[in-house]
Amino acid sequence: MKRITASILVIASGLILTTSCDKKLEGGMGELSLEVLMSNETRAAMSESETLASAKVKSYKADFSGLIREYVKSEMPASLYLPADSYRVDVEAGELSKENPAKASWDQASWKGSSNVNITASTTSSVSVTAKICNAISRINFDPSIAAAFENDYVCTVGLSKDNPSEQLGYTSSKNGAEGYFIADGFEPSLWWTFTGTLKKNGESFTRSGEIPAVEGGKRYTLGFKYTDTEGLLNFSVLVDDSVNTKYDNITFIATTTGLAEMSRYDIWAGHFDVSADVDEAEYDAARTYIEYRAANTGSWIRVPADRESEGSFRKSITGLTPDTEYEYRLIVTSSESGEEEIIDATSTVRTEKAYMIPNPSFETTSNTESSKYKSLYDPSSSDASLQTKWWDSGNSGSTLVGSSAVICYPDTQNKMDGNQSMCLQSRYVVIKFAAGNLFSGHFGELQGTTGGTVYFGRPFTGRPTGIRFWAKYAGGKVNRTGDAPSSLIKNGDYDRAEIKVILGTWDYKKYGGDADSPVLVNTTDKSTFVDYPNDPATIGYAQKILMSDASNSNNVWQQITLPIDYKTTTKYPTHIIVSCAASMFGDYFTGYDDSHLWVDGFELLYE
């Protein structure tokens, strides 16, 4: 920073100057000594002394009641005085200080600064005003690929206006890396840019434009233009760097060329992947555009027509694939002129995701590891590592404290659809409280006196299934136990209902109160811990099935149910999965029919 010091003394209008310095400090007057400090951040056309000489110095009452005096620094009197009071002193220098400043300039920056000062009677008060660069500064960097791809006529115009040339600067190759200065005033001004050029390869004109919104004085905005023509994609990448808060605003322009688009990892699932392609419809027949695929290093290609989403843009979901398998795919186009087919670019490869499954899906493995009163759905002595630790749990450890007759989840070898047994979930009235038959991924916590309990929901899971399939049978009745469920949901005399749901999400146990393996803690005595999964911000995918127990009793037979998982977002991966089954849907509110039975069997996650 360059320091240029001048003693600038300011006096209010209407005061009479005398020749006696001592007299001038009488009657409540004070002397103001002003030091001007100019930052030397950016080169300018005028020298520092010229810039300071032409600077404007303005003094205001600190209460903003109005301008006291305005001077050009070189024309200021040698000695000035102000009545004792509080003031604000503003300095403007450079282009901004001119009578008609240019809004856009290659070589002249502007500075601005302000400071407050208190004038004390009969003394000299000093104030320093640091004037800093106040322009929005532009810099254009052309990568060598621009000159290689475009004729010499390419230019990028940058300005505060899209239409007024006096507020614009034109960056040609000779201005590569140069800085331009803009006096950006008004509310949240923008810098508008337009790149135009002629492509060498075909002589076509190319124009793209954009906006850098809400630019600020004292910040530098650098736009880096790069031309790439790889894998059939023609694009510019534009980097916006405001040099204070580094910001990357990556803008990609897709031209109508022909080739496969780069695939995002989120486009790849266990049973399918999505292919995007750009096709020049002036050269190729849109109706005869295909994607061919096959398992890597195998025989014949499988051909499917690509779906046209918009002009030049095609997409196809390749389905029916095997999880964790490498596939090859390629783009086939047909010449509109000759009718001949053409393979565009080299063959691309992709590996489908793994298909993670639910442990013990048909409940064939059980043990009395935890209690002789009920069966746990794991066995430490199993030869299968996935069955040696708990994945499924129920509320049995809480309900059976009064005896084995209060079990609410148990194997049923008589009612089954997949294997030797199913799980029966039975709602019961246990001593003084209604307990819904339940089964879930996670683990039971502990009883909360005689009024409820805690449950930890969820198990680690990173797959993206598209659905879930299972067997279910339900026999319920009319609600005869009402706890604290809102009457708008269910009331005494209504038919009970069962619920099976699966939720994929990214729950943080530190926020949801659980533990690392089972992050969601629900305390049935505290409704604030109940989670509205369909609307919860951590939920990624959700599926639900409600079984009614109405007069027709239509659900009192085994039925295989397939539920698609509805994904709220496809650009995230889950960290946990919750599978929850309840014989009485509102059991958390201690409401339901105390002899409802829900049988479940054969859970299978689908990857389609």
Q: What's the distance, Cα to Cα, between the start and end of the chain in Å?
A: 65
**Separation between Cα atoms, residue 137 and residue 547, nearest integer Å:** 65
Whole-number Å distance between alpha carbons of 190 and 214: 5
What residues does 393 pair with on adjacent strands? 440
- Band of residue 251 on the pLDDT scale cut at 50, 70, 90: very low
For residue 469, the enclosing domain spans: 385-606
Which tokens sit at 328?
Answer: 């090859």
- If asked whether residues 55 and 105 sit together in one domain, one would say yes
Please give the pLDDT value at position 167: 92
Residues 280 and 208 occupy one common structural domain:
no
* Judgement on whether residues 408 and 547 belong to the same structural domain of the protein: yes
Q: Judge if 405 and 315 occupy the same domain.
A: no
Whether 163 is covered by a domain: the verdict is yes
H-helix segments, 393-436:
396-399
At 410, the pLDDT band (50, 70, 90 cuts) reads: very high
Q: What is the DSSP letter of 144?
A: H
Of 79, 98, 133, the one marking the end of a domain is 133
Lowest mean pLDDT among 148-157, 174-183, 199-208, 340-349: 199-208
Is there a domain that residue 370 lies in? no
Same domain for 413 and 562, yes or no, is yes
Which one of 237, 252, 267 terminates a domain? 252
Look at the chain and report how many structural domains it folds into: 4
pLDDT the model gives residue 519: 97
* Of 273, 154, 262, nearest in space to 208 by CA: 154
For residue 533, being part of any structural domain is answered with yes
Specify whether 342 is located in the same domain as 481.
Answer: no
The answer as to whether 378 is a domain residue is: no
- Residue 338 and residue 270 share a domain: yes
Alpha-carbon radius of gyration of the chain: 38
Question: Which residue's structure tokens are 């810099």?
Answer: 139
**Structural domain includes residue 380:** no
Beta bridge partners of 471: 560, 601
**Nearest CA-CA partner of 370 in 379, 382, 361, 362:** 379
Per-residue confidence at 84, pLDDT binned at 50, 70, 90? confident
Kindly state whether residues 511 and 421 are assigned to the same domain.
Answer: yes
* Cβ burial, residue 427 (10 Å; 0-12/13-18/19+): buried
Q: Would you place residue 30 in the very low, low, confident or very high pLDDT band (cuts 50, 70, 90)?
A: low
- Output phi, psi for 145, to 5 deg: -65, -20
Q: Which amino acid would we find at residue 94?
A: G
Is the pLDDT at 327 greater than 50? The verdict is yes
* Whether 171 and 126 share a structural domain: no
Asked if residue 379 lies in contact with residue 365, where contact means CB atoms within 8 angstroms, the answer is yes
Going by the DSSP 8-state scheme, the letter that residue 121 receives in this structure is: T
- Lowest average pLDDT, out of 263-267, 379-383, 530-534, goes to 263-267
The mean per-residue pLDDT over the stretch 320-347 comes to 94
Would you call 126 exposed, middle or buried from its count of C-beta atoms within 10 A (0-12, 13-18, 19+)? Answer: exposed
Determine what percent of the chain is predicted with pLDDT higher than 90. 48
pLDDT at 404: 67
Higher pLDDT, 375 or 120: 375
Q: Examine the domain organization and report whether 219 and 302 are in the same domain.
A: no
Q: Do both 246 and 265 map to the same domain?
A: no
Of 304, 335, 351, which residue sits at a domain end?
Answer: 351
Which pLDDT band, with edges at 50, 70 and 90, does 124 fall under? Answer: low
Q: What CATH number does the domain containing 298 carry?
A: 2.60.40.10
Q: Give 285: exposed, middle or buried? Use CB within 10 Å, 0-12, 13-18, 19+.
A: middle
Looking at the fold, whether 585 and 451 belong to one and the same domain comes out as yes
Q: Please list the residues that pair with 470 across neighbouring strands.
A: 561
Average pLDDT score, the chain: 83
CATH number at residue 552: 2.60.120.890
**In this predicted structure, what is the pLDDT of residue 199?**
85
Confidence class for position 359, pLDDT limits 50, 70, 90: very high
> What CATH number is associated with residue 77?
2.60.40
